[in-house]
Amino acid sequence: MAAELPDAEHGGPIASINVTPFVDVVLVLLVIFMVTAPMLMKDVLGIRLPKSVSADAQKPTTFGVAVNRAGQILLDGIPVDQEGLTRRAKDTLALDPEVQAVIAADGDARHEDVVRAIDWVQQAGMKRFGLQIQRER
């Protein structure tokens, strides 16, 4: 017969599990996914960024908008209309007045669709915006 460790209160076996290491591992994985998800998003959406030698490395607080090849304007990977985009832009602007809109447009997107996305963001009150590009190697 195997000896069991007694429980301090009742004299029975210890039946508790320490979940602290498990929670630590889960939190580390969560941080890793939060950091890598935005980088993977442009690949999932099928957006091929144009390249530029003089890409700026500065990264202020951003409000990301994507324009795909078909002309759809996407916010967080979901197609939006003018009302949805301006509402979310106004909410973001209320939280951070220094926010900058970043338009990630596919290299084959029509100029008109990109201008429409910029116009919608400016109508919401965001005066600072930029176009996301990929540095040429």
Per-residue confidence (pLDDT) for residue 131, from 0 to 100? 84
- What is the per-residue pLDDT across 11-69, written as a single tens digit (0 to 9) for each? 667 777 888 888 889 999 988 888 777 766 666 666 777 777 766 555 457 888 999 99
Q: How confident is the model at residue 129 (pLDDT cuts 50, 70, 90)?
A: confident
Residue 124 reports pLDDT greater than 60: yes
Name which residue leads in pLDDT, 84 or 57. Answer: 84
Q: State the CATH architecture for 47-135.
A: 2-Layer Sandwich (3.30)
Going from N- to C-terminal start, the domains of the chain cover 47-135
Q: If 0-12 CB within 10 Å is exposed, 13-18 middle and 19+ buried, where does residue 134 land?
A: middle
**Closest-CA residue to 42 (of 81, 14, 69):** 69
